[in-house]
Amino acid sequence: MYPVMNSASKVNGIAFGVLLAGMFVYSLPPVFSFARNQTDAWNLFVDGKLLRKFEQVYEKRFFLREPSVQLWANAQYRLFDEGTKGVVLGKDGWLYTNQEYRVPNNLEANLDGQLKQIAEIEQRLKAHNKRLILLPLPMKVDVYAAHTERAVDPRAISLYDRFVERLQAQNIAVTPLRSAFLANLAGPGLFLKSDTHWSPEGARLSAYELARQRPELLGDERYLSHKVADKTVKGDLMNYIQFNHAQLAPQFGPSQIAVYETLKAEQSADALFADEQQSLVLVGTSYSKIDDWNFTGFLKEALNRDLLSVAVEARGPFEAMSQFLASDDLNNPQIDTVVWEFPLRTLLAHRLGSLSRPGQTQHF
């Protein structure tokens, strides 16, 4: 007995055929648009990248994509109290990067390897008559552990002090910040709730702590930081909140910050156009690069001196240092001190011998 198609099956078959035809017609404009805009299509095809590139373009234009993503994210939040991979939800509207929760199995080997890299960099700078001062930034999940929902691996909490001790054992100059952050929890927030980075208050505290511990860096030029505006910062961690947070979890949202500008207190017309030689360089990550934090400005104010900055956004501290070592500044005899701003979570997230690829999202 052969199966006989009933009326319901026919309707389903027709509906499915119509759906396929509709999707085919809908896909034609993106295909033609994509074909017109490709200047290197053959090489991309040979490398196997052309199809993936078209998929990315098509996904962005697909009208059901956003509703589908939000529907799944809503279900994930309701069932498991989770955001999209990359963020860990905390209490009271606090968000944390999953980089600070992911302790690698080879933590000791990773720590040893990075310490070896740092020691090699320190020796290379010393060979060019430059002193290295490491400025390790504490992790947000460590400083604001009281707002976490998920327990943090004890190895991550103890990592800061271990790192400082190992640097000191290798006679590498280091300026610890963790104790100062923990001692100022009652004041303004030192990290943003919705962002991986510090707040302007955290940047200011770090600058003045460096000046307190390293008085030999102080100069005799006076700089002042002035508040010039208020700003709403979405926060990079909000990119991982794809559920309808306004409806399901209104505690998660953008952060408010004060925007600062740092200027020299007194500056003559001659000094304004003079080509001043700087002896201090700040090498850093997004914590130094992003103007909203004003870290470079607060350093000038705290140290009473001007400085150069080599900061790279979203690529990590080793990439920033690599760029400095490849620049003409390495051979500049005027530069005698390099302050290296170094987020501690680099020890968890960075893998030896790897640099983040262009376009790859990082939080450094």
Q: Is 161 considered catalytic here?
A: no
HSE toward the beta carbon, residue 27, CA cutoff 13 A:
10
Distance CA 350, CA 364 (A): 10
Tokens 């196997």 — which residue?
Answer: 48
Sequence letter at residue 240: Y
Distance CA 186, CA 305 (A): 30
Give the Å distances, CA to CA, from 39 to 22, 44, 283.
29, 10, 37
Given the residues 194, 206, 255, 286, select the one marked as catalytic: 286
Give the Å distances, CA to CA, from 154 to 95, 103, 113, 131, 336.
19, 10, 21, 33, 38
Given the residues 142, 195, 236, 329, select the one marked as catalytic: 195
Cβ-based burial of 221 (10 A; exposed 0-12, middle 13-18, buried ≥19): middle
Given the residues 142, 194, 197, 288, select the one marked as catalytic: 197
Q: Is 286 considered catalytic here?
A: yes
Q: Is 195 considered catalytic here?
A: yes
Residue 150 token pair:
């998920």
Give the Å distances, CA to CA, from 231 to 140, 235, 254, 260, 314.
21, 12, 10, 10, 21
Distance CA 299, CA 224 (A): 10
Residue 208 DSSP label? H
Sequence letter at residue 149: E
Sign of dihedral through CA atoms 182, 183, 186, 188?
A: negative
DSSP letters for 139-188: PHHHHTGGGBSSPPPHHHHHHHHHHHHHHHHTT-EE---HHHHHTTTTSS
Active site residues: 195, 197, 286
